[in-house]
Amino acid sequence: MSENNKHIGVFDSGLGGLTVLKALQKQLPDESFIYFGDTGHLPYGNKSKESVVAYSMKILKFLYEKQIKAAVVACNTASAVALQALQSEYSIPILNVIDPSIHSAINYSKSQTIGVIGTETTILSNTYQTKMKNINPNIKVVAQSCPLFVPIIEEGLMNKKFAHDIVQFYLKTFQDTEVDTLILGCTHYPLFKHIIKKNLHKHIKIIDSAKATAQQASECLENNQLLLSTKKNLKNQYYVSDKPHAFNHLAKVLLNLNNIQINHICL
């Protein structure tokens, strides 16, 4: 198989990365994708850096052996702590979901005060804070970890009253600040977007990385002459490391597919 006709690999700790996959499919409708949801180790957000790096390396090895021409780390925690290790191991383009959202937020913000919500590991890594300061030292970052968001989303409990209460509790951090832009620093969080919006001042712009990441992926493939040369109609492939039935239901809803085959594999 020529490089151009190979798949694009996408991985996350669970179903959150499907928000990125959906945007990628819209941006690159002729390309084929292999998605891996590491549901067996979910959530990544409370794991050590060493564990997340180890999981990510195993997943990318699996995807690489499936013939991919590029990879998208559709997980903010893995993007924050594992990207450098992955890029040093493989020569294919490996994209992350952090940089696109940072650039979008900085371009939008008028107050130069940007909020970030994410998993505990992502926030403690200071990746968002460091990257934004490197671009513009005058940027002020207000960060808040939201460790309960991912479990609630993965269990499909977003519309329960306690979920609304938890969102309200975490977002109190942004009251009485000059934050005018909020980065959803986890690919699960767009599934909470409607509740998050209700608990923020109306003037605050919400940035999720899916669309910006898809645009960056398209530009990267074009620049590396890796866009599909001949349409092959290759089927997308979906893999999980645990609970395929639960993932199957949520993937169908999110991707609007009636027939989706989820493959269970232990790495």
Supply the residues annotated as catalytic: 75, 186
Q: Where are the alpha helices (DSSP H) in the chain?
A: 18-27, 49-65, 76-81, 83-89, 98-108, 120-125, 127-135, 149-154, 161-171, 193-198, 210-223, 244-255
Residues 6+ apart with CB under 8 A from 267: 38, 55, 58, 59, 62, 241
Q: Where are the alpha helices (DSSP H) in 47-126?
A: 49-65, 76-81, 83-89, 98-108, 120-125
92: phi then psi, degrees, rounded to nearest 5: -75, 155
CB 132 within 8 A of CB 141: yes
Identity of the amino acid at 101:
S
Q: Which residue, 20, 81, 70, is CA-closest to 48?
A: 81
Q: Which residue, 251, 192, 267, 239, is CA-closest to 41?
A: 267
In the chain, what's the furthest Cα-to-Cα distance? 56
At residue 179, the 3 state secondary structure works out as coil
Dihedral sign (CA 91, 95, 98, 103): positive
Q: Which residue, 247, 265, 266, is CA-closest to 257?
A: 247
